[in-house]
Amino acid sequence: MSGWKETPFAKLLVDSKDGEWGAGEEAVGLRQAIIIRGTDFADLDNPAAEFPKRWIQDHLIGRKKLGPGDIILETAGGTSTQSTGRSALLKESFFQKHRDLPVLCASFSRHLRLDTENYSPRFTYYLLQTLHRYGYMAVFNIQHTGVSRFQYTAFKNHTELRIPALPTQQKIAAILSAYDELIENNKRRIALLEKLAEEIYREWFVRLRFPGYEKVKKVKGVPAGWTPTPSNKVFRVMSGGTPNTDNPVYWDGDIPFFTPKDADDNFYVLKTERAITQKGLDSCNSRLYQKDTIFITARGTVGKICLAHREMAMNQTCYALSPSHEGDAYFYFLSMKNAIAYIKGVSKSGVFDNIIVDTFKIIPIFMPPGPLIERFNECAAPIFKQIGTLLEQNEVLTKSRDMLLPRLISGTLSVDNLDIQFPPSMAEELKAEPTATVHA
């Protein structure tokens, strides 16, 4: 590993500052800004994502405004299974999408600005990802007054890293970025396919312009033969359960275990934060729910709805819905997503929102005739199948990238004799044309 040198982490930086949260309303001397939290890291490349907008003192924006190549380091908010010290890289594409407002990181995080003449932001980001994944960041994680915090000063002062010369850093970053860009491209395609499926559903069953609608009579604005049916008559409503968390025999198996943490705004859930063993499944009130079972979160964050992309178990803070009628679940899934505002409205109960089994008695679905449901499912099936294919591709790409990551970052896998074509997104960092090639 010639050219790799022990380098104090502090030497990589030209600036580092804490984040801001600011005020929720406009006031004199304040300016609106986009604020990025640790919970927003996963959405930085999502063109449809919404980020908090807060009002910050103008002089603080001048000092703390972020730019392309800056890294955000999370310094609070870890969980029992995830330490603090996660990081995110801000790319030029993010600022192109959010050019109207300045961007800052939130409180409980820091921005890191690198000496880009000697250190690649992308390489440094992947290096930080590796340190977090393999537990090094957890060394600086402490529990303080109920909040998990990252000791940034200790990390900065006591961390030395083996770092190669800049051209090698850029080669390594280019290889890993190629995987990430394929993954992000697939995510964008998935988002477009999901919008397409929802638009077709709304056209047929909300705007009521389904095939042959001109010939169907309406009674009080509803097509003849359509009946409002309580959800509990449309679905088999099933509860879940959790194995004893103190028994290691029940955990870290090969059965995905769905909880509200695994739900997002996407149609499918492919993988879960935790998995259980067959003994764990046998020990609790959950069961193995089949592919395309509809999951709906019922407590805390209420009303997140998704489809299981593979067989998985589920905890007791969710419900699993299986259509009573045979056939694909696409119509039923999109019907529940379309009813989300109503579901949230009827789930208010005391301090916390929650859904109970009786809630499904008062959530109606206007059921069209069976042949129209079948026709819609036939139309939607290729869309959902393509979404699933792209998810599976991303799973393979992620595994491949994660296998390469520690070997490249440590120098175990040499890139010295490789000709690397940089992805377009690295043009800004390289200050070169997107098609520039490095020759060994």
Taking the chain (440 residues) in runs of 10, the rounded mean pLDDT of each run is: 88 97 96 95 86 97 96 85 89 93 96 97 97 94 80 96 96 95 93 97 96 93 92 95 96 96 91 95 96 92 92 96 92 94 68 76 92 97 97 96 96 88 72 40
State residue 439's pLDDT score: 33
State residue 1's pLDDT score: 54
- Whether residues 158 and 237 fall in one domain: no
Q: Which of 141, 163, 185 is the last residue of a domain?
A: 163
- Whether residues 351 and 257 fall in one domain: yes
- Whether residues 27 and 157 fall in one domain: yes
- Whether residues 126 and 50 fall in one domain: yes
CATH number at residue 50: 3.90.220.20
State residue 234's pLDDT score: 95
Task: Give one word for 306, left, alpha or beta, with left for phi > 0 and alpha for psi -120 to 50.
Answer: beta
Residue 28, domain extent: 5-163
Q: Tell me how far apart the alpha carbons of residues 366 and 347 are, in angstroms, rounded to a whole number.
A: 20
**Cα angle 42-47-49, degrees, rounded to a multiple of 5:** 55
- Whether residues 154 and 18 fall in one domain: yes
- Whether residues 159 and 13 fall in one domain: yes
- Whether residues 245 and 97 fall in one domain: no
State residue 95's pLDDT score: 95
Number of domains in the chain: 2
37 located within any domain: yes
Angstrom CA distances, 421 to 31, 168, 401, 427, stand at 41, 13, 17, 11
- Whether residues 341 and 266 fall in one domain: yes
- Whether residues 236 and 115 fall in one domain: no
Q: Which residues are bridge partners to 148 per DSSP?
A: 143
Q: Which of 163, 179, 199 is the last residue of a domain?
A: 163
Q: Which of 367, 393, 413 is the last residue of a domain?
A: 367
Task: Output the pTM of the full model.
Answer: 0.86
Q: Tell me how far apart the alpha carbons of residues 305 and 340 are, in angstroms, rounded to a whole number.
A: 8
- Whether residues 132 and 258 fall in one domain: no
302 located within any domain: yes
353 located within any domain: yes
Name the pairing type of β-strands 313-314 and 251-258.
Answer: parallel
57 located within any domain: yes
